[in-house]
Structure 1
Amino acid sequence: MNYVKYHLLALLVTLLVAGSFISSEKLSGVVNPFSLTLLRFVIAAFTLLPFVLFKAQYRKGIIRALPRSLIMSVFFSVFFICMFEALKTTTPLNTGTLYTLVPFLTAIFSIFAFKEKITKKRLVVYLIGSAGTSWIIFGGDIEALLAFSLNGGDALFIGGCISMVCYSISMKFLYRGDEIIVIVFCTLFCGALWMLLALLVFNQPLQWHLLKSDLWFHMGYLALFATLASTFIIQKTTVVLGPSKVMAYIYLNPICVAFLMLFIEGKSIPSIVFPGMIISLIATIVLQFQNRNNANK
Structure 2
Amino acid sequence: MTENLDLPAAPANRHTVHAKGREKLLAHAAMLLFAALIAGSFSFGGMAAQHLEAGPLTLWRYLMTMVVMGVLTFGVLGVPFTKPRRVWRYALLGGLIAVYMLTMFAALEFTSPVQTGAVFTLMPLISAGFALLFIGQKTRPDVMIALVIAALGAIWVIFRADIGAILSFDVGRGELIYFVGVICHGAYVPLIRKFGQGENPVAFGFWVVVFTIPWLLPTGAVPLAETDFAALPGAVWATIAYLSIVTTAITFMLLQYASMRLPAPKVLGYGYLTPTFIILLEGLLGHGWASPAVFLGALVTAAGLLVMGLLRD
Picking from 59, 62, 66, the partner of 2:81 is 59
2:307 paired residue number? 286
- Report whether the alignment pairs 1:72 with 2:93: yes
- Measured after TM superposition, the shift of residue 288 of structure 1 is 2.3
Q: Answer whether contact 1:65 1:178 (CA < 8 A) is retained.
A: no
Change (3 A) 1:197 1:131: same
Change (3 A) 1:93 1:257: closer
Change (3 A) 1:259 1:153: closer
- Report whether the alignment pairs 1:191 with 2:194: no
- Measured after TM superposition, the shift of residue 123 of structure 1 is 3.7
Change (3 A) 1:51 1:98: closer
Change (3 A) 1:141 1:114: same
Cα distance in 1 between the residues matched to 2:196 and 2:145? 31
- Measured after TM superposition, the shift of residue 258 of structure 1 is 2.5
- Measured after TM superposition, the shift of residue 51 of structure 1 is 4.2
Q: Answer whether contact 1:139 1:273 (CA < 8 A) is retained.
A: yes
Residues 124-171 of structure 1: CA distance to partner in whole angstroms, max 9, x if unpaired? 433332221111111111111112111222111111110111111211
Q: Answer whether contact 2:28 2:309 (CA < 8 A) is retained.
A: no
1:156 paired residue number? 177
Structure with higher Rg: it is 2
- Secondary structure, aligned partner of 2:212: helix
Letter in 2 for 1:195: L
- Report whether the alignment pairs 1:239 with 2:250: no
Cα distance in 2 between the residues matched to 1:263 and 1:199? 32
- Measured after TM superposition, the shift of residue 208 of structure 1 is 5.8
Cα distance in 1 between the residues matched to 2:253 and 2:57? 20
Cα distance in 2 between the residues matched to 1:142 and 1:51? 46
Instruction: Name stretches of at least 5 consecutive residues in structure 1 with no aligned partner.
Output: none
- TM-score, scaled to structure 1: 0.89
**How much is the aligned-residue C-alpha RMSD, in angstroms?**
2.2
Q: Answer whether contact 2:134 2:191 (CA < 8 A) is retained.
A: no
Cα distance in 2 between the residues matched to 1:119 and 1:179? 29
- Report whether the alignment pairs 1:31 with 2:45: no
Cα distance in 2 between the residues matched to 1:68 and 1:7? 26
- Report whether the alignment pairs 1:112 with 2:112: no
Cα distance in 1 between the residues matched to 2:89 and 2:247? 22
Q: Answer whether contact 2:47 2:236 (CA < 8 A) is retained.
A: yes
2:25 paired residue number? 4
Letter in 2 for 1:259: L
How do 1:246-257 residues align onto structure 2 when only pairs under 5 Å count? 246-257=267-278
Letter in 1 for 2:209: L
- Secondary structure, aligned partner of 2:253: helix
- Measured after TM superposition, the shift of residue 121 of structure 1 is 4.4
Change (3 A) 1:138 1:57: closer
Cα distance in 2 between the residues matched to 1:266 and 1:137? 15
1:143 paired residue number? 164
- Secondary structure, aligned partner of 2:198: coil
Cα distance in 1 between the residues matched to 2:52 and 2:92? 26
Identical-residue share of aligned pairs (%): 22
Instruction: Name stretches of at least 5 consecutive residues in structure 2 with no aligned partner.
Output: 1-18
- Report whether the alignment pairs 1:85 with 2:121: no
Letter in 1 for 2:200: E
Q: Which moved more, 1:183-192 or 1:46-55?
A: 46-55
Cα distance in 2 between the residues matched to 1:32 and 1:282? 38
- TM-score, scaled to structure 2: 0.85
Cα distance in 2 between the residues matched to 1:137 and 1:48? 33
- Measured after TM superposition, the shift of residue 254 of structure 1 is 1.7
Q: Answer whether contact 1:172 1:242 (CA < 8 A) is retained.
A: no
Letter in 1 for 2:203: V
